[in-house]
Amino acid sequence: MTAPTVVQRLAAVAADVRRDGLPGDLRQDVARRVLDLIGNSLAATGLPPARAVTAYVREAGGTPEAVAIGTGLRVPAANAALVNGTLAHSLDFDDTHLPSVLHPSSPVVPAALAVAEARGASGAALLDAAGMGIEVAVRLGMGGYDRVLGNSEFFERGQHATSICGAVGAAVAAAMVGGADAEGIAHAAGIAASMGAGLLEANRTGGTVKRVHCGWAAHAGVVAAALARHGLTGPPTVVEGRFGFLHAFCGERADVDAVVDRLGEHWELPGIFFKPYPCNHFTQAGIDAALTLRARGVDPAAIESIELGVPSPVLRTIAQPPEDKARPKSGYHAAFSGPYTVAAALLGGGGLGLGHADFTDAAAADEARLALAAKVTCVPDARCDEIFPNQFPAVLRVVLHDGTRHEVRVDVNRGGPGNPLSSAELATKFAFNAAAVEDRDAIAAAVLDLVAAPDVAGLMDRVRG
């Protein structure tokens, strides 16, 4: 008898989870991620990418199967996933797995929600499927993590691992919540492996397409699961094969063993980071350092120069090209700028320390912020390199006009196992995101009680808009 392939092993665990449920407290962990995702999505409904995707699905029409958050629409499940995945990632406020540098909930949860609603699945089935889909996505991401390089090979090649791996995780979740057995789950994953895509160039030089990456991955996952249900098949060696997923995307640096390391025994899920600020995760330790300096009473008007030290691989995302990062083209691009985020935090941001108002086009064009951002030099830092990518650390060094020097080093990001956000802080984040929604307390209660819900229709009706 031949040994099971990687996708067959993943699917076998997924089938066990569909039958027996996630172990321990993992269902509640997933519920917290669903709450975080719905809050992020509600806050993003007015953004141009969301409007563009909503216009497309409205134009496409089709059977009303699932809610597209904040649109007033019920649309085909795949198109609901497209809208909701786009919303979930649009503000860059979504959770992050390290060291794979993946945002796994944004592609996976919208796919699971859409199929659960369309198929009448229970809240517990949704949580189990979403949790397993997230686990598959981050394990595939770890298959592209090079320990010698100290970075993701996907990232090194300019590929958006979130959408590439997320499409497969979304397919697993969609197949599970749709009632597939292990063979059907494996085929859904194998099909979705041909669908995942995403390039990171928009982070560097502009464009709004990256916000749609998670929506497209969620859409791909729903479609892949449906195709598998109708008899389409995927290759059994889709993950490890010579022309399979990991070798195609990552070449010889692929680590197939990492995908199945302690599979079914160790779960990556509870260690995934929640974000405290609505911007790129690489900027967040620098923000915390700047907020610490503010709390110490450092006056921005007295600053002569600022040095932001970060891990070397981070520079290409938040520091290059330097002229663009010092003067972001838009509020969205400001969210990927080390100089801008440090300046905004030093001058006094809104919301949770920095909020959505700090990443509007008007805020990104504010001359006071730009003048302070122009004083920021981003450099590689050796200690940060040693820690990255298990954390995204930073050190901030400020010199005042009178020669006084200040330094703040942040080695451990807020929101992860070493410095977690409390339930109260996550509730505050949700309330902040859903501030314009009158029903937000009822939405939060419904999400956190999903494990007992007979279906997800009531929750989705509340977020329909």
The pLDDT-based confidence of 1 (bands split at 50, 70, 90) is: low
Domains and CATH numbers, the chain: 6-275+422-463 (1.10.4100.10), 281-410 (3.30.1330.120)
Rg, C-alpha atoms of the chain? 21
Strands 145-146 vs 73-75: parallel, antiparallel or unpaired = unpaired
How high is the pLDDT of residue 429? 96
**What is the predicted pLDDT for the residue at 13?**
98
State pLDDT tens for residues 80-127: 999 999 999 999 999 999 999 999 999 999 999 999 999 999 999 999
Please state the pTM of the whole predicted model. Answer: 0.94
Residue 348's pLDDT band (cuts 50, 70, 90): confident
Q: Give residue-wise pLDDT tens across range 226-261.
A: 999 999 999 999 999 999 999 999 999 999 999 999
pLDDT above 80: residue 308: yes
At 29, the pLDDT band (50, 70, 90 cuts) reads very high
Note whether 319 and 377 are within 8 A (CB). Answer: no
